[in-house]
Structure 1
Amino acid sequence: MGNPEAGRRAVIGEPLDRALGELQATAANFAAICIKDARVRAQYAHDIQAVSREFTNAVLSDRLSAKAAAEQVNALRNQIMDLARLQSSPLGRAYAAKLKQRGLSLGELAEKYASRLYQRPFSALSESQQAGVYAEIVAAGGRADPSVMALSRTLGVVGRRLFLVSLAVAVYEIHEAEDKPREVARQGVLAGAGLVGGLAGGLGAVATGACAATAPVCVTLATLVGGMLLAFGADVAFGTVYPQGWR
């Protein structure tokens, strides 16, 4: 007769292993997303501050007019923003696009700050007032949205915690496994599948029109589902190629 206890462990153990595997892959996926997007946003803030300082100094030293500096700062900030979005995850890109679909033109910024500073259209301002508006555009070019930066820092913390969750699950699974080298390999496959599946799910949802480029909730769900599905498939494939007890 077979061992009933071993049979019960087999029946319970496989679904549990699969569930833990999906949890590990999902945690690894979102840890990578959060940490990466937080770093991209921090670099973006650093770069626009450097640009603003450089052109402010150029205006103060009379090397550039306020208008010329404003034109260049705005163009550079928009370029930095576009580059940062390319480096972000699909989720980070969708959230950024929801906040601001595109960078404002110099004319749009001039009207915005003329209204804010003088409560009049830009064309109605004196030459010195227009210069003041351009100077404000240069200064504002180095200011990142405080609420977005706070969210970015929070995401960095969340990402590190999710990484610890992913690591804890992997360590537990390896500790409990009879064949530890096989389980180490399996955990590596799951983590990689979660990352690739999440990226493919997010990008694919936007590319196919399933999610709008400005719909972070939809992209998040697509990223989750993509990561979980590929992790599940990878786990099944791994179990088929390298079954328990394989040598």
Structure 2
Amino acid sequence: MNTQDSTASNDHQMLEEALAALQATASQFGASAINDAKVRVTYSWDIAAMSNEFRLAASLGQISAREAAEQASAMRNQIMEMSRLRSSPAVRAYATRLKKVGRSFSQLQETYAQRKFGTTFSELSEGKQASVYAEIIRAAGRPDPGVMQLAGKIGRVGRRVLLVSLAIAVYEVAESDDKPREIARQGTLASAGVIGGWAAGTAAVAAGMCAATAPICVSVAAFAGGLLAAFGADAGFGALYPRPSR
């Protein structure tokens, strides 16, 4: 093989490695995106169910309107935090930046007092204060529409990316001379991309490289982690299971 042929072969190998890494990273993004969308759907279901339960308890006189409102607000904040913890690093950073902590109960009181009656909460009569509490309970069952819209977009994109990744994997398996080897390689690359992306995104925040509220930085770290993990996995797989010579 002459120098020109060797260079062409190396370039082809580099391209294949880059495509393999990109495919693995796409799998990582798709898996993360779909998971995040499901977290947001669960979040909306949990809030709606919780609100209905508190509303019923207050109407039956089991707890006061104030107690129901305080508990509903506290539970909403807890559900928000649980959703963040179950989300991927990039979306967790976005959610944290969007609303670092749930608004306090006193802030909710003033917000809805001004919105409904145009005055401070302390100036309201007991009946109007009860109306504010009821509004807080209803609001607790109303997820942020912007966040839910984003979740829907992420979910659809994630599904599409996974389908494209799957189509590429199926194509490579169909074109490969050693199908069992290629099936194992595809599984290795996908797993490496998912694990590498999640680990890098989380480590970037833990090490102080990215702020917890910087979704772009965390996303780049996760993307780079997926690429590096995929490169390493492909190289390791190639060393352990060399491609048969033609």
TM-score range, shorter chain: over 0.9
1:134 aligns with 2:133: yes
The superposition leaves residues 16-36 of structure 1 with CA deviations (integer Å, 9 ceiling, x where unpaired) of 321220121011011001100
State the distance in 2 between where 1:3 and 1:217 align: 45
Give the deviation of 1:69 after TM superposition: 0.5
| Structure 1 unaligned residues grouped into runs of 5+ | none
State the distance in 1 between where 2:126 and 2:187 align: 64
State the distance in 1 between where 2:8 and 2:166 align: 24
Note if contact 1:20-1:169 (Cα within 8 Å) is conserved in structure 2.
Answer: no
Secondary structure of 2:211's aligned partner: coil
1:39 aligns with 2:38: yes
- The corresponding residue for 1:156 is 155
- The corresponding residue for 2:234 is 235
Task: Name the amino acid aligned to 2:32.
Answer: I
The superposition leaves residues 196-228 of structure 1 with CA deviations (integer Å, 9 ceiling, x where unpaired) of 110011101111111110111111111100100
- The corresponding residue for 2:207 is 208
State the distance in 2 between where 1:148 and 1:11 align: 46
| Structure 2 unaligned residues grouped into runs of 5+ | none
Give the deviation of 1:175 after TM superposition: 2.1
- Between the two proteins, the alignment pairs up a number of residues equal to 245
- The corresponding residue for 1:90 is 89
1:95-114 correspondence runs (5 A) = 95-114=94-113
1:28 aligns with 2:27: yes
- The corresponding residue for 2:222 is 223
Identity of matched residues, %: 54
Task: Name the amino acid aligned to 1:148.
Answer: V
Give the deviation of 1:11 after TM superposition: 3.9
Return 234-243 or 191-200, whichever deviates more.
234-243
The superposition leaves residues 130-162 of structure 1 with CA deviations (integer Å, 9 ceiling, x where unpaired) of 111111111101000112111111111111100
State the distance in 2 between where 1:166 and 1:151 align: 22
The superposition leaves residues 35-60 of structure 1 with CA deviations (integer Å, 9 ceiling, x where unpaired) of 00000000000000001111112222
State the distance in 1 between where 2:96 and 2:212 align: 7
Task: Name the amino acid aligned to 1:214.
Answer: T
Give the deviation of 1:232 after TM superposition: 0.5
Task: Name the amino acid aligned to 2:70.
Answer: E
1:120 aligns with 2:119: yes
Give the deviation of 1:103 after TM superposition: 1.2
Give the deviation of 1:63 after TM superposition: 2.3
Return 33-42 or 151-160, whichever deviates more.
151-160
Give the deviation of 1:113 after TM superposition: 1.0
Q: Which of structure 1's runs of 4+ aligned residues deviate more than 3 A?
A: 6-13
Note if contact 1:28-1:162 (Cα within 8 Å) is conserved in structure 2.
Answer: yes
Output the TM-score relative to the length of structure 1.
Answer: 0.93
Task: Name the amino acid aligned to 1:147.
Answer: G
The superposition leaves residues 49-97 of structure 1 with CA deviations (integer Å, 9 ceiling, x where unpaired) of 0011111122222222110100111111111111111111111110100
Give the deviation of 1:12 after TM superposition: 4.8
